[in-house]
Amino acid sequence: MITNQQELIQTFEALPAEAQRQALNFIAFLHQTYKPDAALPPKPKIDWENEPVVGMWRDRQDLVDSTAWVRELRKNEWSKSNDESNNR
């Protein structure tokens, strides 16, 4: 196992040219993959109150109680799949 920079350099220099190229490519890949978060561009702040998607279903009366709506949907879908399984 390589324990210091000098050993790393000696081991690298002992590699054939193609292996050195692959090692450099891998190091470049790791460098790109593990960039510090500070190098990333800041995420834009989203004004959720003015996003068109927010509230797009507010007028749907069947979704007033979303928990009941999901419960009923699951009940219907699961009973269909159970009925289909039993009919095979």
pTM as predicted: 0.40
CA triple 37-43-44, angle to 5 deg = 160
- Give pLDDT, residue 79: 87
Beta strands in 1-88 (DSSP E): none
Of 2 and 21, the one with more pLDDT = 21
- Lookup: tokens for 15: 């590699």
- Give pLDDT, residue 1: 85
Place 57 in a pLDDT band, splitting at 50, 70 and 90.
Answer: confident
Locate the domains of the chain by residue range. Answer: 5-86
- What does pLDDT average to over the chain? 86
Q: Calculate mean pLDDT across residues 75-80.
A: 87
